[in-house]
Structure 1
């Protein structure tokens, strides 16, 4: 699943870069403007955001309160990290429910330029929100059972201090 999400994110990022660059270039060329480039670039930004959200939770790249990691009491750190991950999981569930509603109700609407069903646009959002919720719930369970996890920079500084 990680490889699929990473691939979707990379393709979306590449699409954004190429299409926005093309939009900038076409302003200075004597050619007609290509309107679908802006639409695909906007959709790609949404797809990139939601495909990367689950990956960020797993790799601890998601927004986190790393100052809490410095608290000497490991039980306190464990409780705070577990709670934070459960909040992320609950948010992912809420986003997934809303995305599922959009997928089921927005099929009759079409995008302005490409005329694709808007339910297709919301489908990657649904998958990304489910991924975020599942990954955050698994990470919360892992922290609750095995203790807090620290960022890589914290672990490297701890190794230098011990050595």
Structure 2
């Protein structure tokens, strides 16, 4: 595959720092584990309905909140990828400088919004009212820790986008797909050429 050109000094390093990459990977792993947990719990719940065993109401409650956690835990990873449908539509037009400007402005707005949501999540954690879940008895403040951590991660990733995303996302998803298709066809052409030379 063709390598991206070196990024200008004012735009930062061409690659995201390793801690941010690992943070995204950890969030993706946690998201996959939550999907697996939901699948297992719902499978057990289905079998309970058709087997002569006592149903466990906590399974449904944990499944619902695991789905909630899944929605939040991947916010930082998605923010780190810098992919937004509305931004992608804008990125299909204009010169590279315009695209960089769009990415920087959208990253600043996203960072501010995520920081405000993180602050609100922390306010819910710190103002604990002693409320617990109805069945499992888990304190509500523990549930608010998940969106707090997710929005803190998203804020960090959005701030990093201001430096790194302009370089990473200059090409749109369509551009990347076309480049990948061209690379594949080039590889096939090279293989065919080698086979022809081998026959001769």
TM-score, scaled relative to structure 2: 0.70
Question: 1:107 offset after TM fit, Å?
Answer: 5.5
Question: 1:96 offset after TM fit, Å?
Answer: 0.5
Alignment length, in residue pairs? 161
Question: Rg bigger for which structure?
Answer: 2
Question: 1:117 offset after TM fit, Å?
Answer: 0.9
Q: Please tell me whether residue 12 in structure 1 is matched to residue 40 in structure 2.
A: no
1:150 alignment partner, one of 171, 183, 188? 171
CA distance in 2, matches of 1:94, 1:111: 26
Aligned partner of 1:51 in structure 2 is: 73
Structure-2 change in CA distance of 1:24 and 1:120 (3 Å): same
Aligned partner of 1:104 in structure 2 is: 126
CA contact (8 A) 1:78 1:147 kept: no
CA distance in 2, matches of 1:16, 1:147: 33
Q: Please tell me whether residue 129 in structure 1 is matched to residue 151 in structure 2.
A: yes
**Superposition CA RMSD, Å:** 2.4
User: Any idea what SS the aligned residue of 2:50 has?
Assistant: coil
User: Any idea what SS the aligned residue of 2:131 has?
Assistant: coil
1:26 alignment partner, one of 26, 48, 52? 48
1:65 alignment partner, one of 87, 96, 110? 87
2:103 alignment partner, one of 81, 105, 109? 81
Question: 1:114 offset after TM fit, Å?
Answer: 0.8
Listed one character per residue, the Cα deviations across residues 72-104 of structure 1 (whole Å, up to 9, x for unaligned) are 322222222222222221221121011111111
- Runs of 4 or more consecutive aligned structure 1 residues displaced over 6 Å after TM superposition: none
CA distance in 1, matches of 2:112, 2:163: 14
Aligned partner of 1:37 in structure 2 is: 59
Listed one character per residue, the Cα deviations across residues 4-33 of structure 1 (whole Å, up to 9, x for unaligned) are 322321221111111122222222222222
User: Any idea what SS the aligned residue of 1:26 has?
Assistant: helix
TM-score, scaled relative to structure 1: 0.84
